[in-house]
Chain A
Amino acid sequence: MSARSQATPLDRRGFLKAGASFAGGLVLTVAVPQVRRPALAAAAPSGFAPNAFIRIDRRGEVTLVMPMAEMGQGVYTSMAMLLAEELEVGLDQVRLEHAPANDALYANPILHIQTTGASTTTRAFWTPLRQAGAMARTLLIAAAAKRWGVDPAVCRARSGVVSAGARRLSYGELVDAAAALPVPDSVALKDPEDFVLIGTPAKRLDTPDKVNGRAEYGIDTRQPGMKVAAIAISPVFGGKPRSVNEDAARAVNGVRQVVRIDEAVAVVADHMWAAKKGLEAAAIQWDDGPNAKVDSADIVRQLEQASRQAGVVARNDGDAASALAGAAHRVDAIYRLPFLSHAAMEPMNCTVHVRKDACDIWVGTQAPTLTQAAAAALTGLPKEAVKVHNHLIGGGFGRRLDIDGNILAIKIAQQVDGPVKVVWSREEDIQHDMYRPSYYDRLSAGLDASGKLVAWTHRVSGSAVYARYQPQLFKGGLDPDAVEGAAELPYAIPNIHVDYVRVEPPGIPTGLWRGVGPVHNVFVVESFMDELAHAAGEDPVAYRKTLLGHNPRALAVLTLAAEKAGWGQPLPARHGRGVSVQYAFGSYLSQVAEVEVAADGSVKVHRIVCAVDCGHVINPDTIAAQMEGGTLFGLTATLYGAITLKDGRVEQSNFDTYRPMRIDEAPVVETHLIRSTELPGGIGEAPTAAVSAAVTNAIFAATAKRVRSLPIDTNQLKFPN
């Protein structure tokens, strides 16, 4: 070890347990201390810091059981890097397994359940996985030193081999002896200066199988005797099937069974096409129930009215009301955001086999233990009898934090003899999502005679996702997600008041969507900040800088993004640049968008420059990939995304009406990383939150038209209008 390495004590409550495994070899279990979630988590909206499980066998093969789900964000690789760095093995020596559902071993230390989301994986595992690797390395070295009768300090571990002078023993040769040693009270972590893997570009471990068709997602599972089911869920939320022509469905070649549950009908068949045809033949008539008249205009009206009342206070510094009343200049604005669907490429699916004494579930999920608990509750089986076989996820974006689809599949499987794979059509997937809430935001600000910002008020109105998803975090009527990115701003504002009004849309289920609270609030805050800069007659970058003097990391990303984007340099007519800056998910990010608005109002985004400070970087290429992908995910919603309702039904159904961005529309996204030794921040959702305001601010620069409602209405941007 280097002289610069640091001893880190192991939390004895969060015990590290080493022992012999059944198969022989060293088993190391790391339990992560539970972290209390702050009520208003600007940095960590919700977090996931599960336990890790490491296995080294007699051949020296290192297995890391992954309690976090891989859905494209690259965590299978970055977590393996943390382990391998301290364990002193190459990435090619690490094998990964999906974790089983087990809160006792893998509970998320923040939400107390085993879930993946809110860009927390790297933050959560930064220390515990390095400790796990260091612990294993320490024991392996101790075993070698003991065998050789030398001081462990003269031994070195490299590439899965312990050496001292000319003597060498591979990890595989040492595991039995290492497993018998007592666990030390502390282990030495490497000095970051000595990192050989962390901070260097690593090839992703999950991608080779993604270019040849071998990668197995939940929808790809095949079990002996498995049938395939197509499902129709009541088109109005809360409705039920009234009549089903089961005979017609069963007459379809390949159909085996028709299953009715409360709100849905499933047709079980030999293959998906037969199931789909059977579902069509069933000619289901629905009882629409109480939500048959819900439509989008009513929901906006409901939000508008509710937002006139004062809400639950999320932040109150100084006296915003007085400061506003005494301001030389007052600016007011209303911002609105629509419901959004996740529309991951892999449609919702879940395969379940219920037997008298056991239940197996094959699925790609961000919440395996919630799925397990639901299956136990529905079947009456003990949790231990429910096995969740997790898979790669073909796009999560928060959709697979919810288990509504798994519950439906379990209920269907309870009526089916043998395993059944329930696959949703794209239409069902879009029309029965857990939607990103629609929001209605009222803002006011006061400027003094010099244009300085002296008062800021922001009222957020919308659904409380956490009241349903994680009720223990919904305290005193305040939804932490609804105000994340609104309550804690990066700017110094002397008088600030932020409150929240809970408004639940009738029957419409809401959920977590990539970027969560910040994806809504950063758009609102950064757009309004732009309005204030213009009201003050100042440049948007310069104006922000005056409010960030106390916040060097935010200032640095803003300065870098502006510089790399050529801020201030001339552009053709109807082109514009817009900026946003944020602190969210533990990372600082500034974006500058460059857009062009055509005469018909259509918006072409040419380029988006990202400057990011996410602390210690594990895999730099993953940061760039997440900047590119997260930006496009948010940009898609900015330009096109809206779920609307008419007569209780979602009006969008497939990729023609819920429009994804395509390759010919995608801008170039550039990533500039600030070198940092701060603790790692999350990165998978940050750009999704940052991009909307950067783009709409650029539209303002190009057209002098302020976009206060998403998605962008190109009719408002036509010229001459």
Chain B
Amino acid sequence: MSFTIKVNGNTHSVDVDGDTPLLWVLRDVVGMTGTKFGCGAALCGACTVHVDGAATRSCVTPIDSVGGSAITTIEGIGATPQGKALQRAWLDLEVAQCGYCQSGQIMSAAALLAATPNSSDADIDAAMAGNVCRCGTYQRIRSAIHRAKA
């Protein structure tokens, strides 16, 4: 089946089965590899993108559910004020280690700050607990989100 999706303001037409997760459409069909595969079951958050601004696990989001929604990925998040501030804070505080989960971390954090600009630690816990980092960068992620609020 043919689908037309809108990613970071650009449209892409893809021919895949309707149950194909957005993750694999982005990575393997469109060729945007910034969004990561981690678990395939919405357990780790590495694949987080925004669908109409909402943080969404792309590994369990079938392409036929996306329609004409605006999809934002890590490649495009820097164009938003939250994304830009978070990327800056991530670098200022040297959050990343292996870095593999950080696309998803930043996408979840950007959705959090868009919805709750003055996020508390409890807000951060609630919004970010779905994003796993095996390198253990959590304390810097927390600090960077606070820093990006300013």
Contact = CB atoms under 8 A, between A and B. Distances in A.
B37 A72 contact: no
A664 B125 contact: yes
A661 interface: yes
B16 A395 contact: no
B115 interface: no
Given A207-B94, A654-B41, A270 B28 contact: yes
B38 interface: yes
A661 B136 contact: yes
Contacts of B28: 228, 270-273
A395 B94 contact: no
Nearest to B144: A211
B96 A212 contact: no
Contact of B91 (A211, A216, A270, A423): A211
Interface stretch (A94-102, A593-601, A625-633): A625-633
A663 B138 CA distance: 5
A286 interface: no
Interface string B109-150: 000000000000000111011111111111111100000000
Contacts of B96: 72, 204, 206-207, 210-211
A182 B31 CA distance: 50
Nearest to A426: B39
Contacts of B34: 212-214
Interface string A189-203: 000000000000001
Contact of B129 (A217, A393, A625, A664): A664
A669 B20 CA distance: 41
Interface in B14-40: 16-17, 19-21, 24-25, 27-29, 31-40
A631 to B, nearest CB: 7
Interface in A551-606: none
A345 interface: yes
Contacts of A661: 136, 138
B76 to A, nearest CB: 9
Contacts of B126: 664
A194 to B, nearest CB: 26
Contacts of A395: 98, 100, 134-135
B78 A212 contact: yes
Contacts, number: 190
B137 A628 contact: yes
Nearest to A349: B37
Nearest to A345: B100
A346 B102 CA distance: 12
Contacts of B41: 426, 654-656
B74 A217 contact: no
Interface in B80-110: 86-87, 90-91, 94-103, 106
B46 interface: yes
B5 interface: no
Contacts of A243: none
Interface string A247-281: 00000011000000000000000111110010000
A215 B128 CA distance: 22
Contacts of B31: 222
B98 A632 contact: no
Nearest to B132: A660
A72 B21 contact: no
B127 to A, nearest CB: 9
Contact of B140 (A73, A204, A394, A628): A628
A594 to B, nearest CB: 15
Contact of B99 (A215, A273, A343, A347): A215
B33 A633 contact: no
Contacts of B52: none
A425 B43 CA distance: 13
A211 B87 contact: yes
A253 to B, nearest CB: 5
A61 interface: no
B55 interface: no
B134 A210 contact: no
B40 A629 contact: no
Given A213-B35, A213-B103, A655-B132, A203 B94 contact: yes
A680 interface: no
Given A270-B28, A663-B128, A628 B75 contact: no
B98 A72 contact: yes
B129 A662 contact: yes
- Which of A204, A277, A664 is the most central at the interface, judged by chain B CB atoms within 10 Å of its CB? A664
Given A211-B102, A662-B129, A74 B97 contact: yes
A271 B24 contact: yes
A271 B37 contact: no
A344 interface: yes
B33 A663 contact: no
B44 interface: yes
A435 to B, nearest CB: 16
A222 B33 contact: yes
A480 B79 CA distance: 52
B139 A668 contact: yes
Contacts of A212: 34, 74-75, 78, 87
Given A220-B33, A273-B21, A213 B73 contact: yes
A349 to B, nearest CB: 9
Nearest to A215: B99
A164 B96 CA distance: 42
Interface in A138-153: none
Contacts of A663: 124-125, 128-129, 131, 133, 138, 141-142
A423 B100 CA distance: 15
A666 interface: yes
A426 B38 contact: yes
A669 B136 CA distance: 10
- Which of A73, A212, A343, A666 is the most central at the interface, judged by chain B CB atoms within 10 Å of its CB? A212
Contact of B94 (A394, A625, A636): A625
Interface string A629-672: 11111001000000000000000001110001111101011000
A71 interface: yes
A621 interface: yes
A27 B98 CA distance: 30
A73 B96 CA distance: 10
A221 to B, nearest CB: 9
Contacts of B73: 213
Interface string A362-395: 0000000000000000000000000000001111
Interface in A374-428: 392-397, 423, 425-426
Nearest to B96: A210
Contacts of B137: 625, 628-629
Contact of A660 (B91, B95, B134, B140): B134
A9 interface: no
A208 interface: yes
A632 B35 contact: no
Interface in B51-86: 73-75, 78, 86
The 3 closest A-B pairs by CB, nearest first: A213-B34, A632-B136, A394-B100
Given A343-B134, A345-B100, A655-B43, 6 more contacts: A74-B97, A211-B95, A392-B99, A632-B138, A633-B136, A668-B139
19 contacts: A213-B74, A222-B31, A254-B16, A270-B28, A270-B29, A271-B28, A271-B29, A272-B24, A277-B17, A345-B100, A345-B134, A392-B99, A395-B98, A423-B37, A655-B44, A660-B134, A663-B124, A663-B128, A663-B131
